[in-house]
């Protein structure tokens, strides 16, 4: 998976990255008590408006009254790996998980681009923060984490135009106060990610975690280990 920045979904991202929102906190402890009918785990489907289009989306709603912390799970570019196994695991750990399809991918109308991906992520975040939506989904809009995956295959011209703004070093000042997890694979992008993590630490970020797996770009034979890494990181977010 590939590094994600808060509110930035860009084609330069490399290997799984999870960036906590400014008030993200740990999920509540799991409980063996059976939730009431109205508080059972469930799945809600919806369409999220973004710049004149409606993005197909769904939320894995965690069991319990909540309010639950939430994850926005961003699929790869343009969308070969959706990581819905992670969504199920994260929900079992007590988090709501929003998955949506960017404009121009997986049946959502519109044109796909990295710029649109950034806009679409902002639209999804704003959607979850609406009081009525947060209440319906039993989530805490002040505790939202973004998890993103993948790098570009094509769209090189757009990347070149925005390279100075989208490059990892340009984002360090904005992210140096965030909690960050960077997971890498043997896909040729580890160096870029390691340099980004090092730059964050040099800028004073004491909450950067890195993990490398000897596997392919999709973490095909490390799905359980990937899930365990993400869940442990989520559980360790400060209250």
| CA separation for the pair 227, 89 (Å, rounded) | 7
Tens of each residue's pLDDT in the chain, 239 residues? 333 333 222 222 333 444 444 433 444 434 334 556 678 999 999 999 999 999 999 999 999 999 999 999 988 776 567 888 999 999 999 999 999 999 888 888 888 887 888 899 999 999 999 999 999 999 999 999 999 877 654 445 555 555 555 566 677 888 888 899 999 999 888 888 888 899 999 999 999 999 999 999 889 999 999 999 999 999 998 55
| CA separation for the pair 98, 28 (Å, rounded) | 18
| CA separation for the pair 133, 130 (Å, rounded) | 5
The pTM assigned to this predicted structure is: 0.78
| CA separation for the pair 226, 235 (Å, rounded) | 14
| CA separation for the pair 74, 4 (Å, rounded) | 9
Beta bridge partners of 210: 182
Judge: domain 17-25+40-235, CATH 3.30.1340.30. Answer: no
């Amino acid at each position: 998976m590939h590094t994600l920045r808060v509110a930035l979904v860009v084609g330069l991202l490399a290997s799984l990255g999870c960036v906590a929102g400014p008030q993200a906190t740990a999920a509540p402890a799991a409980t063996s008590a059976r939730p009431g009918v109205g508080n059972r785990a469930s799945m809600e489907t919806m369409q999220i408006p973004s710049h004149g289009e409606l993005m197909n989306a769904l939320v894995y709603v965690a069991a319990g009254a909540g309010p639950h912390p939430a994850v926005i799970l961003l699929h790869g570019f343009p969308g070969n790996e959706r990581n819905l196994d992670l969504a199920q695991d994260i929900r079992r750990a007590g988090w709501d998980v929003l998955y949506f399809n960017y404009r121009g991918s997986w049946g959502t109308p519109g044109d796909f681009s990295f710029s649109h991906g950034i806009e679409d992520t902002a639209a999804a975040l704003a959607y979850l923060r609406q009081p009525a939506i947060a209440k319906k989904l039993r989530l805490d809009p002040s505790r939202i984490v973004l998890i993103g995956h993948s790098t570009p295959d094509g769209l090189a011209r757009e990347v070149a135009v925005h390279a100075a703004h989208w490059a990892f070093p340009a984002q360090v000042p904005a992210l140096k106060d965030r909690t960050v997890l960077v997971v890498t694979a043997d896909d040729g992008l580890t160096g870029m990610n390691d340099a980004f993590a090092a730059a964050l630490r040099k800028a004073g970020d004491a909450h950067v975690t890195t993990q490398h797996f000897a596997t392919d770009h999709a973490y095909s034979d490390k799905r359980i280990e990937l899930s365990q890494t993400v869940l442990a990181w989520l559980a360790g977010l400060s209250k």
